Structures are given as C-alpha cells and as structure tokens.
Amino acid sequence: MIGHVFRRLLAILPLVILLAFMTFLLLQLAPGGPFDAERNFPPEIQKQLEARFALDQPWYSQFWGYLTGLADGTLPSMKRPGLTVGELIGESFPVSLTLGALAMGFAMCLGITSGIIGAIRQNTVWDWTTMGIALIGISVPNFVLGPLLILIFALGLGWVPPARWDGLETMILPAITLGLAYAAYIARLTRAGMLEVIRTDFVRTARAKGLAEHIVVIRHALRGALLPVVTFLGPATARIITGTVVIEKIFQVPGLGYYFVQSALDRDYSMVLGVVCFYASILMVLNLVVDVAYTWLDPRVKLG
C-alpha cells in the first residue's frame, strides 16, 4: 500500500502541470487581457505593466514564469499589487477550509443518522420523513436557502448574526446552508447501502446470536453500508471546500472562493492558475484518501 500511495503522490505533479498548461492556453485564447478593463493608460505605462508581468514575452516564457513563481511562492497577483498568489491563498483558504469542515461535519452527522433511521425503519413515517427532508435539501439551491435561514433565524428570531465571519455563532448559518444539500445526498446513499447490507448473511448471523440491534447496526452493518458514502466524500469534500463562493457572498465570508471567481472575471492570469493548481491538488489528494479508506472499510478491496 505504501508504494501505491507514493506512486499516486508522484503522479500528482505532472497532472497539475498539465492542468495548469491547459488553463493557461484557455486564458491566452480568450479575448482581452488583464488590463483591458482599466482606465486608458498612456502607452508607456501599458508597456511597463506588460513588462512587469511578462505579458510581452512569448507564451512559453510566460508559462514557465508562472510555474517557477508558483513553485517558489513569488508569483505576484496582477490585480492586487504587493501581494503574491501564495499569500492570498494562505490568507483566505483557512477560512474556506473552516467553513467546509464545519459544513461537512454537519452533513455527515445529519446524513448518516438520517440514512440509518430510514433504513432500519423502512417504509414507515420515519423513512418517509427523513427521505422527504433529504429530497428538499437536494432540490433547494443554497442561494435560496441562505437568505431564507437569515430571514428566519437571524432577522426573525435573532438567534445568530445575519452575516459576517467573527466567532463560532457567525459560522452556524453558513455551515448549515452549505452542508444541507450534502447531508441529503449522504442520507440517501447511507440508506441505500444499509438496506443492501442488512439483508446479507453475516448480519442475519449477528442477529441470530442475540446481539442487540444497535450493536448489529453500528458494529456489523454500518461499516459496509458506508462504502457508497466514502466514494461520494472524496469529490464532495473538494467541492464543499472549493465551491463556497455563493455562501461567501451571502454571509460575507472572506474565503478563497471569492478570489477564484473575481480573478477569473478580472483576467488575473497568475491568480487563476494558482487557485486552479491548488484546487486540483486538493482533489487528487482527497481521491487518494478515499482509495485508502476503501481498503480499511472493505478488506476485499486491494490497492493495485
């Protein structure tokens, strides 16, 4: 397993470079440039800006400069003078990571619990209620759910602040808004996996031994039922950490999602490339974690 993990980690670097190259080509092919939307600069100032960010160099020189700048942490942002891409990511990503971790923790607790209840109480009011709530969670977009939660719990009941990022109480609504849809998917996957496992022979044997139902469910059935959930958690964790831009705008959260979208709109080549490579690395590492977790949950699965 150690050799497999090491080879997968080594493969991340060329894949990230390839993705960065494709992103760079798309940025080059798109019309316009980073400073086209600015006020009319004198020609000499325009030339100085292009020289400073190597925009007057051939494309291969520009791309090599981006890669070396990302590697040593000196790549400057074109739209935020005095700041490097690494500094911006280091400042904003912990906020997005905190929000994503809280949202995923909420989603797993609510989703797994709801899925187990729905499976062991199949075709009862408990099953219909949990799966009905899950369907609502999937159907309602977060840009609708967020303002609705603010209206009810912040402006109506006054339990939490409506928007800002300062203390645990300000994190509750953003985490719930972001995590509810993922909780719904996890609930449905857990229920489906649990229904399949509880009908297997080893679960029947555990019950025949006279074990309590909660021991049968938690110790014997849940481990196999979580395989579909683990498959979902790899890309879902990457999405929940990187796809927070709407939540960050609604709740005024100073995370990395804002810089990602704004940099794409501003044609900030260096920032776009830095964030894309950063997000791609996270996704690949999380997929590797999922593969390793599979071998722990199901001994029949072997890493090749």
Per-residue pLDDT tens digits for 188-205: 888 888 887 777 777 777
The pair of three-digit structure tokens given for residue 18, joined into one six-digit string: 């390839």
In a domain, 82, yes or no: no
Task: Examine the domain organization and report whether 34 and 108 are in the same domain.
Answer: no
Q: Does 158 reside within a domain?
A: yes
Looking at the structure, tell me whether residues 95 and 234 fall in a common domain.
yes
Residues 190 and 111: beta-carbon distance below 8 Å: yes
pLDDT at 40: 62
The answer on 207 and 60 residing in a single domain is no
pLDDT > 70: what percent of the chain? 88
Q: Give the whole-angstrom CA distance, residue 92 versus residue 80.
A: 14
Find the mean pLDDT for residues 234-247.
75
Q: Which own/partner pairs from 141-148 qualify as long-range (CB within 8 Å, at least 24 positions apart)? A: 142/177, 142/178, 142/180, 142/181, 142/246, 142/247, 143/246, 143/250, 145/177, 145/180, 146/173, 146/174, 146/177, 146/246, 146/247, 146/250, 146/251, 147/250
- Provide the greatest CA pair distance for the chain: 85
Q: Are residues 134 and 113 part of one domain?
A: yes
The reported pLDDT for the residue numbered 220 is 66
Question: Does 212 share its domain with 234?
Answer: yes
pLDDT, residue 298, reads: 62
In a domain, 278, yes or no: no
pLDDT beyond 60 at 304: no
CATH for 129: 1.10.3720.10
Among 76, 107, 130, give the residue marking a domain's end. 76
Residue 233 and residue 115 share a domain? yes
pLDDT per residue as tens digits for the range 60-110? 888 888 888 888 878 888 777 778 888 888 888 888 888 888 988 998 888
Residue 34 lies in a domain: yes
Tell whether 55 and 155 lie within a shared domain. no
Nearest CA-CA partner of 104 in 207, 8, 264, 244? 244
Give the burial class of 148: count Cβ atoms within 10 A of its Cβ; 0-12 exposed, 13-18 middle, 19 or more buried.
exposed
Q: What is the pLDDT of residues 25-58, one digit of tens each?
A: 888 887 766 666 555 666 677 677 777 777 777 8
- Contact criterion met (CB below 8 Å) for 85 and 270: yes
Mean per-residue pLDDT over the chain, rounded = 79
**For 166, phi and psi rounded to 5 degrees?**
-155, 85
Q: How far is CA 213 from the centre of its chain?
A: 35
Q: Are 61 and 205 in a shared domain?
A: no
End position of a domain, from candidates 25, 43, 76:
76
Task: Kindly state whether residue 279 falls inside one of the protein's structural domains.
Answer: no
Contacts of 188 (CB under 8 A, 6+ apart): 115, 131, 134
Distance (Å) of CA 54 to CA 38, 46, 84, 221? 18, 12, 15, 59
- What is the number of domains present in the chain? 2
Reported as a pLDDT band with limits 50, 70 and 90, residue 270 is confident
Are 134 and 237 within one domain?
Answer: yes
Q: What is the pLDDT, as a whole number, of residue 231?
A: 77
Residue 88: predicted pLDDT? 86
pLDDT of residue 242: 67
- Classify residue 53 by burial, with Cβ atoms within 10 Å: 0-12, 13-18, 19+: buried
Residues 51 and 167 in one domain: no
User: What DSSP state is assigned to residue 84?
Assistant: B
Decide if 182 is inside a domain. yes
Give the pLDDT score at 172.
87
Looking at the fold, whether 152 and 131 belong to one and the same domain comes out as yes
Mean pLDDT of 216-240: 75
Query: For residue 259, is it within any domain?
Result: yes
CA–CA separation, 159 vs 185, rounded Å? Answer: 28
Same domain for 65 and 153 = no
Sign of dihedral through CA atoms 102, 104, 105, 107?
Answer: positive
pLDDT value of position 234 = 73
Residue 189 sits in which domain range?
87-272+293-297
pLDDT for position 41: 62
Does the residue 207 lie in any domain?
yes
Residue that terminates a domain, selected from 19, 53, 76? 76
